Structure 1
């Protein structure tokens, strides 16, 4: 089971990913939190229940599509399909620095302890660790790093 680290501590994952294969068929929850894959999230633009949803992007997807909704988006998850794919680092920097995203920016996928410090410097403040990663080792890796300069989402 994967562990979520947010703001330097292990927390419950209150924003599960809706898998892509279920994305088109599953109804949105009436109340609750879920992360929708970008195509589904865009399809639901007129659905009032979408306000309770976050979004997750694959590395090839353009974060610029989210710009109009950034002030109200609580969570954006950026995917690392393999640890050697660094495109999500660039997506994170764009969202934080160019567009001023203030909500939770979560790393998902092949997230390893050795990457956490670099991810935090790029703007990530939450990390869904790969299942084989030790939460204690991950917290130790984050322990001495700088805290993000942006305000936290309430």
Structure 2
């Protein structure tokens, strides 16, 4: 599956490794939660980056002790109707202070690209290559937002308050 990062299709540097497979030497790996929990100490000494596929049915707060040793977090969308990964992404960014790459995997649809970006995802594992074009269009379709989010775009209220405060000070 193509990987979209900042609107472009990029090569995925991470190798997905099943719990029972050996970790390749020197290559960035993407592992499951069971492997992380059982091999956490051994993974700390690994010379290559380690990423985790975090299931959407586990509390995201459980990942906090492992954040310093992770280079990537992938959150799963098992169904397009299941939005728990959005909440996990915001909690990671806003409460847990995660600043590293955050990847959306699973059943990812074009209609959700803007919300994914606003929730804190900076990588999306898309279904097909044409989705990169759809990503650019979807993320630039709207310029005004009512709700605050984790991205840098201010909400309409913040924009208005900024103008009002700037107007009072001048």
Which among 105, 113, 116 is matched to residue 116 of structure 1?
A: 113
Please give the alpha-carbon distance, in whole angstroms, between the structure 2 residues aligned to 1:91 and 1:51. Answer: 25
Tell me the residue number matched to 1:9: 8
Per-residue deviation at 1:135? 2.4
TM-score (norm 2): 0.76
Q: Number of aligned residue pairs: give it.
A: 144
Q: Relative to 1, partners in 2 of residues 1:145 and 1:10: Cα closer, same or farther, differing over 3 Å?
A: farther
Which among 51, 54, 57 is matched to residue 57 of structure 1?
A: 54
Q: Deviations over 1:87-133 (max 9, x none)?
A: 00011011000011010000000111110100111111110012486
Larger radius of gyration: 2
Check conservation: 1:28, 1:50, Cα contact below 8 A.
no
RCO higher in structure (CA 8 A, sep ≥6): 1
1:108 counterpart SS class: strand
Check conservation: 1:8, 1:143, Cα contact below 8 A.
no
Tell me the residue number matched to 1:100: 97
**Superposition RMSD on alpha carbons, in Å?**
2.2
Tell me the residue number matched to 1:152: none
